Structure 1
């Protein structure tokens, strides 16, 4: 009798285990395809827009350290401006501190026709500047085409390349 009871218990236990295994579902993880060329990345676009707003505000506030903090200076950093040879991060920082540190008044600081294109962790921002800056009694009007290339870092979106060139036609 004990043998039958042990045998029956083993059989019930075996059937229960087998039944549990049959109920297990295989979970398949579906790979999400990212189209770097066509996907919009709206959350990242908003982050970049907020970064651009913060960059503009740091200039208006005269906070040069904050302005510089939006750059990711490294040996890879590059800048083109005014048809001159390429600058590196050190030259860019020196120029920005020199120019924006000398501004005595900002009459206008518009970033027009801004387009933000995000490619996952890279963002390309193009715009037309309409800056009216006073240096003492001298007024400088800066109408440029500007491209800023951003990289998503642990510190947020940071500039890794700048390109400035004269804007031949002003916006209406």
Structure 2
């Protein structure tokens, strides 16, 4: 009987030791998880790439579908079967995205008045040092050739992957900012 109690106690002790090791390892992994790691150099590189994208759009606005700045803008994309853009409730593949970018910025827009992110909204999260998620709320003011001055306030997510030493776009997501309809009390009657 004593031998049986000893085996049960050892078995329970081993289980508790294993459970304790798992919990402490889980805490250690959580504290050092990829979510918590920062990659300052990679973040700076992504922001530099984003700045170059903005410069290409600004300089190339209205300069033509096949202008040098539109070619430069397109060079920041890693087109292929995996690329997808969500915009205006639609999904676009590589060819669709390239056409949209060249048409909008190279042909439809006369010039860019302002290319900015709403203050405090620009964030860059880097994972494993080679995948980056850049998010912001756009505060773009564009001079459209047909519609005149337009403001674009979208929730934008740009997914980058570092390939051959350069950060390339592999996904874009653009959604309009939700603005609740406000009704003035004195207009209800």
- TM-score bucket (shorter structure): 0.7 to 0.9
Report 1:1-172 matches (<5 A).
35-62=33-60, 63-84=69-90, 86-102=91-107, 103-112=109-118, 113-120=121-128, 121-136=130-145, 138-169=148-179
State the number of aligned residues.
Answer: 137
CA distance in 2, matches of 1:71, 1:156: 10
Look up the SS of the partner of 2:116 in the other structure. strand
CA distance in 1, matches of 2:36, 2:162: 19
Q: Which has the higher strand share?
A: 1
Q: What is the deviation of 1:36? A: 1.8
Look up the SS of the partner of 2:92 in the other structure. coil
Q: Provide the alpha-carbon RMSD of the alignment.
A: 1.7
Larger radius of gyration: 1
Gaps of 5+ in 2: 1-28, 61-68, 180-189
Gaps of 5+ in 1: 1-32
Q: What is the deviation of 1:82? A: 1.4
Runs of 4+ in 1 over 2 A off after TM superposition: none
Q: What is the deviation of 1:154? A: 0.6
Q: What is the deviation of 1:155? A: 4.7
Q: TM-score, normalised by structure 1?
A: 0.75
Q: TM-score, normalised by structure 2?
A: 0.68
Look up the SS of the partner of 1:73 in the other structure. coil
Look up the SS of the partner of 1:110 in the other structure. coil
Q: What is the deviation of 1:156? A: 0.4
